[in-house]
């Protein structure tokens, strides 16, 4: 069997594979043109299929901290900042922003909470 015959056989097998997958082989495999079809761009997703959201900005964190201080008390806002490892909001690590915002939202929406309960 010549090299060309082996290549033709291989191309047929690959086309059959694409047919099973439901992909048009004519678009991907064209004899004599060694190009690959670009992969379709897909949105980023987490392992469980949820869309990834960008990290919150410092301005968003500041806004929710101010909202927490207004809705509850400044002492509760400061206590939450300290619980997330910073003496003040400006020193809060960016990795902590999502957790801080989630905790602040819970506290804002809760009925009763005091600084000592945190």
Structural domain boundaries in the chain:
1-34, 58-109
- The residue whose two tokens read 């690590």 is 93
CA 65 to CA 89: how far, in whole Å? Answer: 8
**SS3 assignment, position 51:** strand
pLDDT in tens, 6-26: 888 888 887 877 677 765 544
Instruction: Please say whether the beta carbons of 18 and 24 come within 8 A.
Output: yes
pLDDT in tens, 18-64: 677 765 544 545 555 555 555 555 555 556 656 567 889 999 999 99
Q: What is the CA radius of gyration of the chain?
A: 28
């Amino acid at each position: 069997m010549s090299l060309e015959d082996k290549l033709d056989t291989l191309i047929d097998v690959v086309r059959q594979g694409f047919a099973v997958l439901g992909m048009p082989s004519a678009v991907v495999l064209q004899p004599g043109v060694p190009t690959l079809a670009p992969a379709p761009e897909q949105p980023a997703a987490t392992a469980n299929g949820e869309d990834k959201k960008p990290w919150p900005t410092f301005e968003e964190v500041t806004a929710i901290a101010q909202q927490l201080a207004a809705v509850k008390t400044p002492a509760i806002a400061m206590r939450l900042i300290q619980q997330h490892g910073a003496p003040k909001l400006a020193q809060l690590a960016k990795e902590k922003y999502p957790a801080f915002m989630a905790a602040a939202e819970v506290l804002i929406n809760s009925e009763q909470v005091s600084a000592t309960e945190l």
